[in-house]
Amino acid sequence: MSEYELPLVFFTVLCQWAIGSIIAITALMTVQPVWLNEEARFNRLRSMALVILVINIIGSFLSLLHLGSPMGAYRAILGIGHSWLSREVVAFFLLNAVVFIWAAVMFRFNRHRALVKSISFVASLAGIAAILVSAQVYYQMASHPMWHTLITHLSFIATALLLGFVTISLMVAVYQYRQGVQQEKIPGLLLTGILLGVLLMLWVVLWYSHGVNGQGQMVSSAIAVLGSGLVGWLIFGGLITGTGVATYLYKQSSISIAGATLLMLVVLSAAICGRMLFYSGVMSQSPWF
């Protein structure tokens, strides 16, 4: 395994991005039912559902590249009774099925708004469960103190919230920019989701910093993380830019597609850097086992 296990980096980040986006869409439907009832707005959600489905499928596929024999991936489920890795495989197989059904409902049963809202809640819960199972794969490794902590779970949740709520908030802002809607505020729940993701990510960074005062492998992991140039981009692209997006959208309810794309790429790249640090903090240690 390499220091930066990129297949796992992109698997976790992309799938958490998809999950966070579903949660954010569910929140948007709840606080602003007009996105369910107005055809033009709902069509925008349908387009996003397709994008989210593709992101989740690509992320899941990339996880296979981590295996020595991708064609033998089916054997991973054989240990579901005792292995969290097997449970993760099953969890994400089921998640892909749920997300596919969710996207299909958005397109096929778009007139049944109550059904759309209900399946969105189900998909959100399935996504949260998948994130927690995925985090447990690393938490169970007691010999690696950087992973054997609830910060692992918070890190994964932070990525989902930050990416998902930034994505849907920018989607709403771009829609309002194109429609010339200036007086309608971005839902406060979406902006709160962004800030919650930022706060959880800050908590993770501070925990890494506190690890320097620890002992043994934790010190080495903390030094490896904080000594990497990637942490600077994580702070700028994740914490600062994430906060900036929420602040800007609180004051301005619209943004151009170019501006939204640039901001999304910055935040996404920061999340990728954060996950690279998550792996390298442990994988850079020798011996690994």
pLDDT exceeds cutoff 90 at 245: yes
Closest CA to 131 of 155, 148, 147, 101: 155
139 domain-assigned:
yes
pLDDT of residue 65: 72
User: Helix axis angle, 151-179 relative to 39-64, nearest 10°?
Assistant: 140
Average pLDDT over residues 274-285: 88
236 domain-assigned:
yes
289 domain-assigned:
no
Number of domains into which the chain is organized = 1
172 domain-assigned:
yes
Q: What pTM value is reported for the model?
A: 0.92
Per residue in 69-112, pLDDT tens? Answer: 555 555 555 556 667 778 888 899 999 999 999 999 998 876 67
1 domain-assigned:
no
234 domain-assigned:
yes
**CATH code at 251?**
1.20.1630.10
Per residue in 49-74, pLDDT tens? Answer: 999 999 999 999 888 775 545 555 55
pLDDT of residue 287: 53
pLDDT of residue 76: 58
Coil vs helix vs strand at 83: coil
Residue owning tokens 């908590």? 203
pLDDT exceeds cutoff 90 at 197: yes
203 domain-assigned:
yes
Domain region containing 198: 6-282
User: CA-to-CA distance for 177 and 104, rounded, in angstroms?
Assistant: 28
Mean pLDDT of the chain: 89
Of 122-131, 197-206, 275-284, the least confident: 275-284
287 domain-assigned:
no
pLDDT of residue 188: 95
Quick one: residue 20, left, alpha or beta (phi over 0 = left, psi -120 to 50 = alpha)?
alpha
